[in-house]
Amino acid sequence: MPTTAAIDSSRTVATLINVFTVAPERQHELIALLAHATEETMKHQPGFICANFHASQDGVRVVNYAQWESEKHYWAMRADPEARVHMDLAATIATDVQPRLFTVASHHPKA
């Protein structure tokens, strides 16, 4: 299984797209927390493939694009108490958190 993000409709990974709304002055704090949580906990969870964090240019959003080997692996991580601590902390920085699981339905790379 690859260890980097690959957007490909033939792969059967579970893709998490989590959109955080945050006060602009706390955007970097949230990204630092998410990066730390990933290094310390998430990347050691079974089924973890990768996580990427995107900062909106207006400062009010952080997007987490992560991939897990399966939906089962994702939900197991969500149930893990150590992972839960990090997720709860992120929710205290963000004013809104919108995690959703996706599959790649269509993929169009430049030829």
Q: DSSP of 30-59, one letter per residue?
A: HHHHHHHHHHHTGGGSTTEEEEEEEE-TTS
State yes or no: pLDDT of 4 exceeds 70. Answer: no
> pLDDT value at position 35?
98
> pLDDT value at position 9?
75
Its pTM stands at 0.89
DSSP β-bridge partners for residue 69:
none
pLDDT averaged over the chain? 93
State yes or no: pLDDT of 34 exceeds 60. Answer: yes
> pLDDT value at position 72?
97
Stretch 57-75: mean pLDDT, rounded?
97
Ranges 25-29, 41-45, 102-106, 107-111: which has the least confidence: 107-111
Q: Which fold has domain 14-102?
A: Alpha-Beta Plaits (3.30.70)
Closest CA to 99 of 78, 79, 80: 78
Q: Which two tokens stand for residue 99?
A: 């995690």
In the chain, where the domains are located: 14-102
State yes or no: pLDDT of 33 exceeds 90. Answer: yes
